[in-house]
A = this chain, B = another copy of it.
């Protein structure tokens, strides 16, 4: 069945779509009540976040917009040391969207939500003119323990910079799809609960966590250096990149540290905990390729330097221009 403007009316067609596809898959006590808002248990300190997803294509090797939107929002909560609890989802469907595709996406969302331990408690559906595409917004609420204080402002000279795995997989996947380049690369879209929980449970001195999405590693680290008023120094040959993505980058002249990921984070931790943190991340799901890639220094505020593979020193700036549009 194809989506029509009537599915956005708020009347019978909207109700049927919600019942047959959304409620069925996001099955939980709170959502089933179909109220204007969900009333749920809270916590003294909470984290709140939102993201809209406009990725094109909506299904790609290793994932889809449904898995992507749950991972993106769950990871944003985790990056403040929060335990993800609730998600809301707002669908903007274009006329002509196929309900079988919507069903697959919704099933993927539900499965990823189960993996990440979150409940989808509220939703909304709108229909607009178009060519059968869709956008999804997810907002999330997480609980934060009283003593947890992780933020972009806390990178401290002496800290060690760890990334949780290979750079560029999601970016290369989407670009490969769009350009029709045959390859075996898969998106890394994944929820990072396990590795963040491992760091928190083991009382690692984590100062800053950040997921490495649009803009890539260089943009994220440059922003952290600016926010924390420090310098970050990287070694290019310590940045993990899979052979397939390295070949892909070579072919197209891309730099992996400006390529977006959807299941990778940077952890800035106190030097004395770095080896233990690396081990914990490497032992976690999705963390087997983690690596120490650099350090925080007390040189100038807001600088990001990279020692290149051939021994030069290069200053990295925030991504300029388009990057890759509609990567997430």
Contact = CB atoms under 8 A, between A and B. Distances in A.
A91 B52 contact: yes
22 contacts: A9-B322, A11-B320, A33-B151, A34-B227, A35-B79, A35-B80, A36-B49, A36-B210, A37-B47, A37-B79, A39-B82, A39-B144, A40-B45, A41-B44, A42-B44, A46-B46, A48-B86, A48-B121, A50-B89, A54-B126, A54-B127, A127-B325
A328 B235 CA distance: 51
Interface residues of A, number: 83
A164 to B, nearest CB: 15
Nearest to A127: B325
A290 to B, nearest CB: 19
Given A9-B319, A37-B79, 8 more contacts: A10-B323, A11-B215, A36-B210, A37-B49, A37-B80, A50-B137, A54-B92, A126-B135
A33 to B, nearest CB: 7
Given A35-B152, A39-B46, A137-B137, A6 B322 contact: yes
Interface in A44-83: 44-54, 75-77, 79-80, 82
Contacts of A123: 50
